[in-house]
Structure 1
Amino acid sequence: MLHLPTILRILGFMSAFYGAAMALPWAYGRLAGEEAAGIGLAAACALGLGLILLVTMPRERREVSHREGFLIVTLTWLLAAGLGALPYLFTGTLHSVTDAFFEAMSGFTTTGSTVLSGLDRMPRSILLWRSLTQWLGGMGMILLSIAILPLLGVGGMQLFKAETPGPVTDKLRPRVRDTAARLWGIYATLTLAEVVCLKLAGVPLYDAVCHSLTTLPGGGFSTHDASIAYFHSAAVEAIVTVFMLAGGINFVLYYAAATGRWRTVLRDSELRFFALVFAGACALVVVNLRLTTYGGWAEAVRYGVFQVATCISTTGFATADYERWSHLPQVILITAMVTGAMAGSTSGALKEMRILVLLKRAGLQLRQLVHPHAVVRVHISGRAVDPEIVHGVWGFFFLYMLVLSIASMLLASLGLDYVTSVTAVITTMGNVGPGLGLVGPSETFAALPAAAKWVLSGCMLLGRLEIYTVLVLFLPEFWRR
């Protein structure tokens, strides 16, 4: 049975945490001489709600059940989007609840789709909050990967654990709190490293901090309308590319590397597959751009590699309007938005591990046509994968495509064209950011109908929480004793 006081107490803690996080851009705004009263009021509301729940709900020492975990995670992200919308509303940055909720949901799910324009003229405090929502969302995704998603049995971290028994998983302490602290330490260290690198490349400190907060979590929010192209720097683009890809790698592998277990890292099948897919996509895009769009190889490599990296890591930064490119690069980029990067990373979309399992299972299916009586199992790095996990991956893939299809039809029913409808859903479910058509890299989502924004907000949540975490709440038996 669900224990309501425990759930509300945890939500109270999270509300207070969000309020404390809002205090950072409020303090920055005051120091910078900006009018930051709206952010301060939002922080007070979040802190007040949190304190009320913490004080009124009884404190009990008990383990949170699996069912409570699913409910808490979904409610936490909804709470984050609801409270995260307040700074936009209270400062007058956005005047519509729909737009403010969309922007906040996009931030906390590290999607990067936006309804805002004129970023270069906006108060720095609100842009700092906008960047901070994505960094906090990335932290939440790391915790989700180790605490909740393994319970779903739909691939991902269970496959990693099955593939790397013993040293790595033993070193990562079994308590979620200890494991999360270690991985968050790596997350913060990489973020700080990017700040330093961008500063050395000539980026102002404020921009370096804000873009570092949105790169590693695969967010894509920028402080400028032109995104990374604003800096007109190949060095900056190269740094951001490296850290986008870094955010797309399983964070447990960083711990393995930090403890000297490089063989485990180099033998990881998903990492090798991710590198192969990225390299292949880059090669196809770069060659096509050289033949059809750019006059030299340097330009083709510079813009092609960056856009492949930003799509496959589901970050969403832009240095070129790829809607002006030929069709082949567009198809490759959209495909990258669907596949995503590695399980256990901050990336969204399907994840490379699931794609690898599906490909191996399809190959075995072909072999069984030749040898119908053979008993075959999917193997990753020489180890057999539990058939239940393979079935779970198939189920997840089907649900992902089903939700994508239904949401696309809903947008089309609202009068949006086919390209906009499909790519808007792909980019929000994959937590990428821009798509094509009315939501291309040089556009925003502001022109979409309010109903479409609510549908896409739901897609962001479903994509970030890997569908099952949310849909399980709609089962009648979930609420029974």
Structure 2
Amino acid sequence: MNFNVRIIIHIMGLLLLCNGSFMLLATFASGIYKDGATLDIALAAIVTMLFGVMAMFYTRGHKKEVKRKEGYMVVTFGWVIMSISGMLPYLFSGAIPSVTDAFFETISGYTTTGASILNDIESLPKGILLWRSLTHWIGGMGIIVLAIAILPLLGIGGMQLFAAEAPGPGGDKLHPRITDTAKRLWFIYFGYTVVETIFLKLAGMSFFDAINHALSTLSTGGFSTKNASLAYWNDSPLIQYIIIVFMFLAGTNFVMSYFAFTGRVQRVLKDEEFKVYTTLVVVFTIIAGFIVYFQANVPISDYHPKVLGEAESAFRHALFQVIAIVTTTGFVSADFTNWTPFLTVFFFGLMFLGGSAGSTAGGIKVMRHLLIIKNGILEFKRTLHTNAIIPVRYNQKTVSEHIVYNIIAFFVLYMLLFIIGALVLGYLGLDFESAIGGAASSLGNVGPALGELNPVVNFSELPAFGKWWCGFLMLLGRLELFTVLILFVPYFWKKT
């Protein structure tokens, strides 16, 4: 093997330092609220940072070069190491005493899945709740994207890490230098989080609830501070509308936000993926809204007259759940599996859509669906004109065959893994609806599923192996399959 092991360990140390630093924020919050978990979270932070310092110190003489293979290893193992260290606050505080449950909750956080094993969230210490939300926020834009903004300070280039962390087809750069790209993305990400926190506070949330839900929204994670999730605020439509707007933004390519902020609004409006993404949200909301209004019962806000309340509430809940599932945020304003059988199947299908490429959303992504459909339509023309060269076009540019083949391979592999994932859960004893729902939700980083794993229950009743299996599916989905699966290919480990 010809890997630069020292640089891999060195970057792991850097990630642990970052993780420990975020734990200190949770320690600070715990101290302010005097929730009794301050010393436990502080100890977790110290242990995490100590291992990080040791790793960086003993590999300080490394060769400062990250090749493609090292990039894949750092991203995959980095996510695992972060999840292992990230479960220490749960274990040390006793909030989640089981290693299996603590790891599940943590990797669900970092992968922004939002599936949980906790039955009484509101009983947890405030510091633990904030740490739970921070795991979302760290994983949302990608720990590695954060790291590559820092790596040049250590004399290390980060291009290979960025390629491994964001292997999708959306490759627009904001700036020629990858580090500046990462910094701009994080600035937008941080700015949105601050603005949403302010809006939610003004709308009536406590500051603690506001910052936690902002962290979960922008990361398209879905962890809430309430057992009922966003259904807790069903009497406050304004709060739900604010979260709807920011879920939509989080599911949009962050490059589009940058273009909008720099005055290039026309480029945003002409972007094919953005137009399809917006259109699908509107169409799906209209379909779900009418069915909810005429066939299902939803909570009606006390702030509206009955007639207006019924219509507004139906379409608000429909819009909320459509965006929550499409962007894989997974917040819940109502149990959509109890609306109608059609809507249960409808929302199950949306779990495979995903947000935009370059967003914090999981799933297959709108761009991949768009290019697959375009290529499928062109196959009819190619069948009639066998000698013609008819390329796929996106935003008026020709898409290379390599990208088209990659997307088709991704789609086939994604569906194969979904089937395998469901088979394993079925073998563990889950019924059909729960097995396919759990597999789709985990692989798509959605959160709520179907059957025994529906939005008002959780994953706590899964067997231990089932939790580890779903955690593996979450990691595969978050890193878009190839980054993880390439490590299982024998050729990867051969000396080249």
TM-score range relative to shorter protein? over 0.9
Alpha-carbon deviation of 1:382? 1.8
Q: Is the counterpart of residue 437 in structure 1 residue 451 in structure 2?
A: yes
Of all paired residues, the percent bearing the same amino acid is: 39
Q: Is the counterpart of residue 289 in structure 1 residue 302 in structure 2?
A: no
- Please, which of 199, 212, 215 is the counterpart of residue 214 of structure 2? 212
In the alignment, residue 169 of structure 2 is paired with which amino acid?
G
Q: Which residue of 2 aligns with 1:67?
A: 69
Secondary structure class of the residue paired with 1:157: coil
**Structure 2 CA distance for partners of 1:445 and 1:152, relative to 1, 3 Å:** closer
- How many angstroms apart in 1 are the aligned matches of 2:160 and 2:356? 17
Q: Deviations over 1:6-29 (max 9, x none)?
A: 110110111111111111111211
- Please, which of 252, 255, 258 is the counterpart of residue 255 of structure 2? 252
Q: Residue 106 of structure 1 contacts residue 113 of structure 1 at CA under 8 Å; is this kept in 2?
A: yes
Matches within 5 A, 1:353-392: 353-392=367-406
Alpha-carbon deviation of 1:155? 4.6
Q: Which residue of 2 aligns with 1:180?
A: 182
Alpha-carbon deviation of 1:381? 2.0
Q: Which residue of 2 aligns with 1:164?
A: none
TM-score relative to the length of structure 1: 0.94
Secondary structure class of the residue paired with 1:338: coil
In the alignment, residue 252 of structure 1 is paired with which amino acid?
V
In the alignment, residue 281 of structure 1 is paired with which amino acid?
F
Q: Which residue of 2 aligns with 1:58?
A: 60
291-300 or 238-247, larger mean C-alpha shift: 291-300
Q: Residue 285 of structure 1 contacts residue 328 of structure 1 at CA under 8 Å; is this kept in 2?
A: no
- Please, which of 266, 275, 287 is the counterpart of residue 263 of structure 1? 266
What runs of 5+ residues in structure 2 fail to find an aligned partner?
A: 149-158, 298-306
Q: Is the counterpart of residue 348 in structure 1 residue 362 in structure 2?
A: yes
Matches within 5 A, 1:133-172: 133-140=135-142, 143=145, 148=161, 150=163, 155-158=168-171, 161=172, 169=173, 172=174
Alpha-carbon deviation of 1:257? 1.4
Q: Is the counterpart of residue 30 in structure 1 residue 69 in structure 2?
A: no
TM-score relative to the length of structure 2: 0.92
- How many angstroms apart in 2 are the aligned matches of 1:148 and 1:459? 21
In the alignment, residue 179 of structure 2 is paired with which amino acid?
R
**Structure 2 CA distance for partners of 1:12 and 1:350, relative to 1, 3 Å:** same
- How many angstroms apart in 1 are the aligned matches of 2:319 and 2:175? 37
- How many angstroms apart in 1 are the aligned matches of 2:143 and 2:438? 22
Alpha-carbon deviation of 1:150? 4.6
**Structure 2 CA distance for partners of 1:272 and 1:359, relative to 1, 3 Å:** same
- Please, which of 325, 329, 344 is the counterpart of residue 330 of structure 1? 344
Alpha-carbon deviation of 1:269? 0.5
Alpha-carbon deviation of 1:79? 0.7
- How many angstroms apart in 2 are the aligned matches of 1:119 and 1:180? 33
- Please, which of 110, 113, 116 is the counterpart of residue 111 of structure 1? 113
Q: Deviations over 1:407-433 (max 9, x none)?
A: 110110011101101111111111110
In the alignment, residue 344 of structure 2 is paired with which amino acid?
Q
- How many angstroms apart in 2 are the aligned matches of 1:147 and 1:204? 41
Q: Deviations over 1:57-96 (max 9, x none)?
A: 1334522101100000001110111011111111111121
56-65 or 209-218, larger mean C-alpha shift: 56-65
**Structure 2 CA distance for partners of 1:239 and 1:153, relative to 1, 3 Å:** closer
Q: Residue 430 of structure 1 contacts residue 463 of structure 1 at CA under 8 Å; is this kept in 2?
A: yes
- How many angstroms apart in 2 are the aligned matches of 1:123 and 1:387? 52
Aligned residues: 470
**Structure 2 CA distance for partners of 1:42 and 1:109, relative to 1, 3 Å:** same
Q: Deviations over 1:97-138 (max 9, x none)?
A: 110000000000000000012112211110000001000111
Q: Which residue of 2 aligns with 1:273?
A: 276
Q: Deviations over 1:152-211 (max 9, x none)?
A: 9975223xx4xxxxxxx4xx2222221101110000000001001101101110000000
Q: Is the counterpart of residue 422 in structure 1 residue 427 in structure 2?
A: no
